[in-house]
Structure 1
Amino acid sequence: MVLAVLVGLTVLAAAWIGIRGALAYGHLRDAQTAAVAARASLADPATAADAIAEISAETAAAHRLTSDPVWRAAEGMAWIGPQLRAVSTVAASLDDVAGSALAPLVDVASSFSVDSLAPVDGRIDLAAFTALEEPAAAGAAGVRDAAAALDGLDRPALLAPLRDAVDEVSDLLDEVQVGAGALARATALIPGMLGADGPRNYLILFQNNAEWRSLGGIPGAVALLSTDDGRMSLAAQESSGDFPTYDTSVLPLGPEVQGIYGERPGRWIQNVTQVPDFPLAAQLAQEMWARGHDGQRVDGVIAMDPVALSYLLEATGPVELPTGDVLTSENAVPLLLNEVYLRYENPSDQDDFFALAAASVFDALSTGGFSPADLVSALARAGDERRLLLWSAHEDDQTLLADTTLAGGLPRTDADVARFGVYLNDGTGSKMTYYAGADTAVAWASCAAGPRGVTGQAELTVTVRNDAPADAATLPDYITGGGSFGIPPGVARTVGYLYLPTGFSLADATMSDGSGFGGGVHDGRRVLTFSVDLAPGESATATVRADTAEPSASVLEVVQTPGVTASAVPAAACGSAAP
């Protein structure tokens, strides 16, 4: 009789769990359908509120069905227990995100309009950002906790269909986590940066991609941006020629940096972006500005290039300059990086043109005559391509920036991705890299996946080209360098710095022209340096092979100097075909 009762209870429990599991599955699928249908309209907070409410109702029902005592008890059983625990964890995580993390944020955001980002009478209303800050931070924390709960599951113990479903939900939460984290950082940063707590000053470095530096190009022009209670103004504009050459570095560079780059980054404003570490570049620029402006220490440093400016012009539309030129998203790059040198022989006239262009675009932005949505897209694109960099002298702000592409830090290797760095610099003293190009590829030469990660050998190839016309020697001296540094006009010298991912060791490195490499170590990363002189039509290739000294992430990526054109390097996963 006892055995019969136990068998009966077991059958009833199995039926109970099976029925509730099937119902929970239906609710989760309905939630997924609602999420897919709503994705396209989630940019509208009012529509998002209704969508999140519908999704939350479905996930709440699934959570209730998979959290009763019978279900919980069954989670302790062998084999079936991990499967049930996975289902209940997915249901609870999604319910926490839809019902607890995002719903309050969407409620507040429903009263927010992206049009409020546009200045009115020269001022941006900061109240909207302040209202979003707390729910945005709570939402980001909720999504982060939900993602962590899924990461804690024993995935190898799951049946393949369930494991695939958990992976799918985990990927979804990772995607939501990126957006939620970005919103939380933005709402925490923007009010203070725009002077909500008092006036601030930011030094803007306009990088010139026609003369490569690791982070983009030389800072050819600078401006001082002042903010106060949402108002912005250009307080000063100067040329890099207004800065002196310092006898020694304005700040200590440390033995590793100095061993690779010498003291050049700390002696010339044009070279502060030579080290591919924007926090260091920004502090060097801050110190140089202070030395030339009665000790004024800016609150932060912003770097952008003409390509990023062209993205902003997609939001503002064409901008007419006092010279009569009309600056557009299509002509900004060739006009600012090449045509201006053909038009004006005198460098001071070139600097004046750059200043006019920057001031005119700023005026268009400050008057509010633009599409705020397009502006946000332009800024996001520039940030993703590392054409927009930001450093803050305020520690709390810099902490929020540290793990973003805006921070412009050294290439970071984590559990998911191993990152190489490919940084190119002009050594001609010219504007010849407007005609230069770089083709970069990365792949696993061999790899094997193990329980702690991937081991094997990665291969990086970097081909540098001089695509200048055959008669490049006849171009103006300001473009060719005029033979400075002993380099014939028309020839382009490129200096490269190749960073291996953290945890990788050098196996082999060759240059197609037979030259060798220098290098060193920078913050735990092996660095290889090379220099090539290329006549028009010539190219040279560096090939580097690196072994995993310890188990690594399975995906390889490259962080590369942004050039005149966007050129993303495809990632390579272990097991995928080489490009």
Structure 2
Amino acid sequence: MFKHGSRRLRWAALVVALIVVALVVDGVYVTLRLRSSQQAALEELEEARAAFDAEDFTSTAASLSKARDATSALVSLTGHPSFRIAARLPFIGGDARAIESLGRAADLSVRGGVLLVDALDAASDGDPGSLAESVYRDGTVQFAAIDRAAPLVEEAAALLARAESILEEAPDPKLGSVEEALEDARAEVSSASVSTRRVAALMDALPSLFGRDGVRRYFLAFQSPSEARGSGGFPGVFGILKAEEGRLSLGAVRPIGSLGLLNSPASVPGWYRDLYRDVGALRDPRQAGYSPNFPEVARVWLEVYEESTGNSLDGVMAMDPIVLSEMTRGTGPLTVDGFAGSIGPDNAVEALLYDSYVEFPDPDDQNLYLAALVDALWQRLGAGDVEVGPLAEGLGRATRGQHLKLYSVDDDVQAALADLGVDGDYAAVGPNVQLVYGNNAAANKVDYFLTRTIDTIVELESDGDARVTTRIELTNNVPADAPPSILFGPGVEGDRAGINGMVLYLLMPEGSRLTGSRVDGDPSEPLAGREGDHPVAYDLVEILPSETSIVEFTYLVPSAWDESDGTFAFDLFPQATAVPDRFSLEVRPPAGPALVRSGILDRTISVRATFGN
């Protein structure tokens, strides 16, 4: 019996040994194939990106097809026995599961990319060109192209959203190479997912916006950030845009003051009334833009227009010279009578925010010139005499900087505009948003000469709160000897020409509490209000020509981050200014290195980070 038992043990040991050898061989095979498949997928994706950038969509499709084969192989390899066992081991299980997540997300992303190429092919109906050129051609939105492409774009967006979710839920790996790959993949897939969702939202909104089912009319406000307003700038002139069967046309452009004042205060939320009624924002369309909440500003403009004319409109568009500058990249330079030379992307901002005030010292003459220029722009667009690619890229940049904003009275269309990020609503970004904005209080045009640097330090505390210090450096670059003029003022009796007088506001994250304020080093007592659910602190600041002022706010944000898992979110929302702000943002966790971002605040800056407590 002992011999039989010993023989069985030897056989069992041999079987175990064979299994171990098989698993080792399988593990080596899987490792080599994983590396090979991963490298092949990466190379083909790079080829696809290069081909797409070169608008070689046939090669793009071919590279994506090869990448799909590689990612499918990658996913299948994670089902091998050695990999499944590794995924359950305590020390390397997290890395194995992270690799599996990377493979699944890569497969979904590539499938989404293939669908986007298919959508482009469907929209173009076989003709070469970009998606934008297929959707907007000869001055008309092509509804048939949208009908063909939209379902494919929506499917691609769903696949990329799944890939994004898989990567977000992946466990944190221990191996540096896997951790780096996971972080890179999260950033790339998140960016692709956001972009694709926006394309889907655009395709959903365009037919209604451009009058597929009936004529649509929009209030077009042309704003000037040389006289700052929270929503972008002083609205000098306006016109009515008509959208019908995919085409836009602009009616007569007039001074916005010609609409007159509302007979009674506009129907606005209580916070808007409390914060801005003393400046006339509830009755005067020129002052409604004191708030940076564009949907509320748009509703006031619509109310003023309806009372003044008896006609209701379908929405609002606001644009400024930065938008016009970007649009001329697609339309080409514009020329109108009364101003020497043409207006294009290289000189539009200076010409409209500085030169026009010098050339036309009479405000009425300047308004006539602006009206003619805006009309020339929309005539060029209506005729379809544009390069669609540069036009679309320019509009994208202008939108990100809040220079172009749209509002629709249709709730579904407004939701799509919010998805596109063109609604001008800081509240849509998230609860932990900070916005520095100014309103010109000197009735001059010197904000063209204003530069702002916004430095924010966020100190995360171990109890979940955050203490924030925001330092705003304001420099008035008007020459010290600036003469009186429509540009330099004085717009207020007793002021000096060139002075920059402003009401400076700090919009803080929801639930914040101001703890201190200084102006040029001296303690100050700012006023307080609310913008929606966000507390606001504000103060009057006056800066003489060629001088600098520094304003500092400190505030507490209760429960700003989740100390249990270390997650933290914070956003900086831009005001549409003549000169984009510079910024720095430093987030200091209770332990470990700080997160630092800096640059130009020409778009919403979002921080999504995880810190150890």
- Normalising to structure 1: TM-score of the pair? 0.90
Contact 2:516 2:553 in 1 (8 A): yes
Structure 1 regions of 5+ residues with no counterpart? none
Contact 2:501 2:541 in 1 (8 A): yes
1-structure distance, mates of 2:596, 2:197? 33
Superposition pairs for residues 271-350 of structure 1, below 5 Å?
271-294=287-310, 296-323=311-338, 325=340, 326-350=342-366
1:303 maps to a residue whose letter is A
Q: Paired residue for 2:556, among 547, 551, 566?
A: 547
Deviates more, 1:171-180 or 1:542-551: 542-551
2-structure distance, mates of 1:175, 1:240? 39
- The answer for the alignment partner of 2:273 in structure 1 is 258
Contact 2:584 2:596 in 1 (8 A): no
Cα offset for 1:269?
0.8
What does the per-residue CA deviation read over 1:107-153, in whole Å, with 9 as the maximum and x for residues that have no partner?
Answer: 23135323335542x43323222221111111111101111012112
Contact 1:249 1:266 in 2 (8 A): yes
- The answer for the alignment partner of 2:507 in structure 1 is 499
Superposition pairs for residues 138-287 of structure 1, below 5 Å?
138-155=155-172, 158-254=174-270, 256-262=271-277, 264-287=280-303
Contact 2:328 2:344 in 1 (8 A): yes
Deviates more, 1:144-153 or 1:73-82: 73-82
- The answer for the alignment partner of 1:358 in structure 2 is 374
What does the per-residue CA deviation read over 1:450-487, in whole Å, with 9 as the maximum and x for residues that have no partner?
Answer: 7x9x7543321112232222233x332x3344453653
Computing the radius of gyration from Cα coordinates, the structure with the larger value is: 2
SS at match of 1:430: coil
**Compared CA separation, residues 11 and 527, structure 1 to 2 (3 A):** farther
- Percent sequence identity is 22
**Compared CA separation, residues 370 and 492, structure 1 to 2 (3 A):** same
Contact 2:399 2:405 in 1 (8 A): yes
* Match status 1:50 vs 2:46: no
What does the per-residue CA deviation read over 1:399-440, in whole Å, with 9 as the maximum and x for residues that have no partner?
Answer: 12224431211266659xx53100111011222322333222
- The answer for the alignment partner of 1:462 in structure 2 is 472
- The answer for the alignment partner of 2:34 in structure 1 is 24
1-structure distance, mates of 2:136, 2:446? 38
Contact 1:265 1:272 in 2 (8 A): yes
Q: Paired residue for 2:117, among 98, 106, 118?
A: 106
Deviates more, 1:168-177 or 1:482-491: 482-491
Deviates more, 1:111-120 or 1:132-141: 111-120
1-structure distance, mates of 2:46, 2:513? 44
Q: Paired residue for 2:542, among 524, 528, 533?
A: 533
- The answer for the alignment partner of 1:386 in structure 2 is 402
Contact 2:197 2:419 in 1 (8 A): no
* Match status 1:523 vs 2:541: no
**Compared CA separation, residues 105 and 412, structure 1 to 2 (3 A):** closer
Contact 2:221 2:238 in 1 (8 A): yes
**Compared CA separation, residues 138 and 69, structure 1 to 2 (3 A):** farther
- Normalising to structure 2: TM-score of the pair? 0.86
SS at match of 1:365: helix
SS at match of 2:51: coil
Superposition pairs for residues 83-102 of structure 1, below 5 Å?
83-99=95-111, 101-102=112-113
1-structure distance, mates of 2:335, 2:491? 36
- The answer for the alignment partner of 1:565 in structure 2 is 579
1:104 maps to a residue whose letter is L
1:83 maps to a residue whose letter is D
- The answer for the alignment partner of 2:454 in structure 1 is 440
Between the two proteins, the alignment pairs up a number of residues equal to: 566
**Compared CA separation, residues 566 and 284, structure 1 to 2 (3 A):** same
Deviates more, 1:543-552 or 1:141-150: 543-552
- The answer for the alignment partner of 1:511 in structure 2 is 519
1-structure distance, mates of 2:64, 2:489? 59
CA RMSD of aligned residues (A): 2.6
**Compared CA separation, residues 83 and 118, structure 1 to 2 (3 A):** closer
